[in-house]
Chains A and B, each alone.
Chain A
Amino acid sequence: MGNTNSLIGMSVFLLIVIAALLAPIFATHDPVQQNILFRLQGPSAEHWMGTDAVGRDIYSRILYGARISLIIGLVSVGLAMIVGTAMGVLAGYYGGKIDQLVTQITDVLLAFPSLILGLMIVAILGPTMPNLIIAIALTTVPQFARVARAPTLSLRERDFIQAGRALGYSDLRIMYRHVLPNIFPEVLVMGSLWLATAIRVEASLAFIGLGVRPPTPTWGGMIRDGFKNILDSPWLAIFPSLAILILVFALNMLGDGLRDTVDPRLKGEK
């Protein structure tokens, strides 16, 4: 069951990645080209998902918007994964003061819901792509620190880690070569699940006006624009919402499936 789920999730995710990469080929129109004569048109053969309030093609904008969502999601989660995992492994392996410090930082960051923390940081730094990436990464770092720390704590006592110490390996080598490969599956599962959250947070920030600046198309921003015409032209908001839904759902399926494969104890539990 887990495998089918993760396979479906993986396929959908890859399709979206390909669509975003090849957006210039798949797009039917220029995503920022305004055409006031064709504004607020419903789905048609010319405009598959209709046009927005200034006549831009929604289908093409969704394709280009996927790029923003994926770049911000992947880079921020990638960063958080590297930093968070390093923090968690160091804390778990050394214990003591380092562990206390990491745990306290983690607890403070976890006390804020990711949207609120992201909102604060973007509001302070300004809504540019690098700032959004930093903000979302910061909200995700403690998740990885936690996921990496717990198994490191138990691995540290395992005989093969002790054997490494007895063989005169450096701490860095033990952490990198012996701890990391053994916790990596769990970190990866966390990565796919938090990628979904990161994409959702980016869209939410864009929806409240803290996304990448217009005219660059973002899904959250499109929903925000479409909201003004929600009663007479609902497709403006519906299509980008569906895009977010499908991507987030696919990533969750992928993550859940992976988790079942990695941790057989959770199999069947819902």
Chain B
Amino acid sequence: MSDDAILKVTQLRKTFDSRSGFLGRKAKVHALDGISFEVKAGEAYGLVGESGCGKSTAGRALLRLIEPDSGEVEFKGQSVTSASKRHLRELRRHIQIIFQDPYASLNPKQLVGDLLAEPLKVHKIVTDAEIPERVASLLTSVGLPAEAATKYPHEFSGGQRQRIGIARALALESEFIVADEAVSALDVSIQAQILLLLQKLQAERNLSFLFITHDLGVLRYFCQRGSVMYLGRLVESGPTRDMLDRPLHPYTRMLREASPSPDPKTARATVKVAGEVPSPLDPPQGCHFHPRCPKAMPHCREVYPEMREVEPGRHVACHLHDPSVMGEQVEGV
């Protein structure tokens, strides 16, 4: 659609085989059931949803750390999904990932300096003589002392380790970063520091982000636009402020009501979070959300609603916003 998109994801699908016990019934989990979105250059795009909805699979599938079954990922007009092994390695220079668990994402047997020097060597970003200097500048750019290079990851705290992970993602001068729950494992005070750091880096280096999170506060703070995901599908997309202030999809509304507000005067939960996420092995017929939806209609049990643009820049997959289903009654839910 728009020309300024740096990353374009079209109808991405991934199913996992699952077998319950020996001789158990074979089943397919639709982790990604045809999701599409695009991220503009310099933008932070959010992907929000409950655990198990497939948002991490989405992040990894677009880097092909998990091979998607079908669909298309385009980075700056080049196809990632159909790239050869060699081309993919080249493309990966431009797209990096920051992981959730800062304890699992750094090789415990590697000095921090070596861990940051390795990508520089592999891709010959700088000459060998310049490597120590570059490592030091990477460390200072994420707010760590240059001496950190001579230590092992276990000598650092979670927040510091996450900074090392960020420095590693920056080593290749990538333009696009997938942040997979990058702050979820950290204390709230540290979360703020890391978010500030990411914002600073985004401004300095004109980075684009796919920011995967389950925290609406973080989403609102960090992302300009985003999508809400439910059981492998996107249910609502648009500017984050509009989405959170005036949710169109009942699920977005439920998520918002469930997340705490910093203002004690705000009335709490008018819509109760009902039920649990159904098993992705056996998603409900029709709209996946209808068993938990307070406004479910008979039609919702039968037909999955398509994603439609209902306001400029705002898309939602819900029959309540489809005039052909609702007749005259379309309303702000």
Which of these binds chain A: B94-102, B137-145, B219-227, B258-266? B94-102
Q: Say yes or no: A167 contacts B172, CB within 8 Å.
A: yes
In the complex, how many angstroms separate the beta carbon of B98 from the nearest chain A beta carbon? 9
Q: Is B151 an interface residue (CB 8 A)?
A: no
Q: Kindly list chain A residues whose C-beta atoms are within 8 Å of the C-beta of B172.
A: 167-168
State whether A159 and B122 are in contact (beta carbons under 8 Å apart), knowing that A166-B96, A167-B172 are contacts in the complex. no
Instruction: Identify which of residues 100-152 in chain B touch chain A, using a CB-to-CB cut-off of 8 Å.
Output: 100-101, 104-110, 118-119, 122-123
Q: Say yes or no: A159 contacts B105, CB within 8 Å.
A: yes
Q: Say yes or no: A169 contacts B118, CB within 8 Å.
A: yes
State whether A162 and B65 are in contact (beta carbons under 8 Å apart), knowing that A168-B90, A182-B109 are contacts in the complex. yes
Q: Say yes or no: B122 contacts A162, CB within 8 Å.
A: no
In the complex, how many angstroms separate the beta carbon of B260 from the nearest chain A beta carbon? 29
Q: Say yes or no: B119 contacts A167, CB within 8 Å.
A: yes
In the complex, how many angstroms separate the beta carbon of B176 from the nearest chain A beta carbon? 11
Q: Which residue of B lies closest to A182 (CB)?
A: B109
Q: Say yes or no: A177 contacts B89, CB within 8 Å.
A: no
Count of A-B contacts judged by CB separation below 8 Å? 59
State whether A168 and B107 are in contact (beta carbons under 8 Å apart), knowing that A162-B60, A162-B65 are contacts in the complex. no
9 tightest A-B CB contacts, nearest first? A159-B105, A181-B109, A168-B89, A159-B99, A168-B92, A159-B104, A160-B107, A167-B119, A166-B97
The docked-state distance in angstroms from the alpha carbon of A166 to that of B95 is: 8
Q: Say yes or no: B104 contacts A158, CB within 8 Å.
A: yes
Q: Say yes or no: B97 contacts A162, CB within 8 Å.
A: yes
The docked-state distance in angstroms from the alpha carbon of A177 to that of B117 is: 13
In the complex, how many angstroms separate the beta carbon of B39 from the nearest chain A beta carbon? 17
In the complex, how many angstroms separate the beta carbon of A186 from the nearest chain B beta carbon? 13
Q: Say yes or no: A182 contacts B90, CB within 8 Å.
A: no
A residues engaging B (CB < 8 A)? 158-160, 162-170, 173, 177-178, 181-182
Q: Say yes or no: B92 contacts A167, CB within 8 Å.
A: yes
Partner of B123, one of A159, A164, A168: A168
The docked-state distance in angstroms from the alpha carbon of A169 to that of B99 is: 17
Q: Which residue of B lies closest to A185 (CB)?
A: B109
Q: Kindly list chain A residues whose C-beta atoms are within 8 Å of the C-beta of B106.
A: 160
14 A-B Cβ contacts within 8 A?
A159-B99, A159-B104, A159-B105, A160-B104, A162-B97, A163-B97, A165-B65, A167-B122, A167-B172, A168-B123, A173-B122, A177-B110, A178-B110, A181-B107
The docked-state distance in angstroms from the alpha carbon of A74 to that of B8 is: 57
Q: Is B241 an interface residue (CB 8 A)?
A: no
Q: Is B63 an interface residue (CB 8 A)?
A: yes
The secondary structure that dominates the B interface is: loop
Partner of A169, one of B100, B122, B165: B122
B residues engaging A (CB < 8 A)? 60, 63, 65, 89-90, 92-93, 95-97, 99-101, 104-110, 118-119, 122-123, 165, 168, 171-172
Q: Kindly list chain A residues whose C-beta atoms are within 8 Å of the C-beta of B123.
A: 168
Q: Say yes or no: A159 contacts B101, CB within 8 Å.
A: yes
Q: Kindly list chain B residues whose C-beta atoms are within 8 Å of the C-beta of A162.
A: 60, 65, 97, 99
Q: Which residue of A lies closest to B107 (CB)?
A: A160
Q: Kindly list chain A residues whose C-beta atoms are within 8 Å of the C-beta of B97.
A: 162-163, 166
Q: Say yes or no: A163 contacts B93, CB within 8 Å.
A: no
Q: Which residue of B lies closest to A173 (CB)?
A: B122
In the complex, how many angstroms separate the beta carbon of A175 from the nearest chain B beta carbon? 13
Q: Say yes or no: B122 contacts A168, CB within 8 Å.
A: yes
Q: Kindly list chain A residues whose C-beta atoms are within 8 Å of the C-beta of B93.
A: 168
Q: Which residue of A lies closest to B178 (CB)?
A: A166
Q: Say yes or no: B168 contacts A163, CB within 8 Å.
A: yes
Q: Say yes or no: B105 contacts A163, CB within 8 Å.
A: yes
In the complex, how many angstroms separate the beta carbon of B177 from the nearest chain A beta carbon? 10
Q: Kindly list chain A residues whose C-beta atoms are within 8 Å of the C-beta of B108.
A: 182
In the complex, how many angstroms separate the beta carbon of B126 from the nearest chain A beta carbon? 15
Partner of B63, one of A166, A177, A178: A166
The docked-state distance in angstroms from the alpha carbon of A113 to that of B299 is: 67
The docked-state distance in angstroms from the alpha carbon of A181 to that of B60 is: 25
State whether A166 and B65 are in contact (beta carbons under 8 Å apart), knowing that A159-B101, A173-B122 are contacts in the complex. yes
Q: Which residue of A lies closest to B88 (CB)?
A: A168
The docked-state distance in angstroms from the alpha carbon of A177 to that of B109 is: 9
In the complex, how many angstroms separate the beta carbon of B86 from the nearest chain A beta carbon? 10
Q: Say yes or no: A163 contacts B92, CB within 8 Å.
A: no
The docked-state distance in angstroms from the alpha carbon of A170 to that of B86 is: 10
In the complex, how many angstroms separate the beta carbon of A156 from the nearest chain B beta carbon? 11
The docked-state distance in angstroms from the alpha carbon of A168 to that of B89 is: 5
Q: Kindly list chain B residues whose C-beta atoms are within 8 Å of the C-beta of A166.
A: 63, 65, 92, 95-97
In the complex, how many angstroms separate the beta carbon of B162 from the nearest chain A beta carbon? 12
The docked-state distance in angstroms from the alpha carbon of A181 to that of B110 is: 9
Q: Say yes or no: B105 contacts A160, CB within 8 Å.
A: yes
Q: Which residue of A lies closest to B102 (CB)?
A: A159
The docked-state distance in angstroms from the alpha carbon of A170 to that of B63 is: 15
The docked-state distance in angstroms from the alpha carbon of A178 to that of B153 is: 14
A166-B65, A166-B92 given; name 10 further pairs at CB < 8 Å: A160-B105, A160-B107, A162-B60, A162-B65, A162-B99, A163-B105, A164-B107, A167-B96, A167-B119, A182-B109
Q: Which residue of A lies closest to B165 (CB)?
A: A163
Q: Which residue of A lies closest to B60 (CB)?
A: A162
The docked-state distance in angstroms from the alpha carbon of A173 to that of B172 is: 17
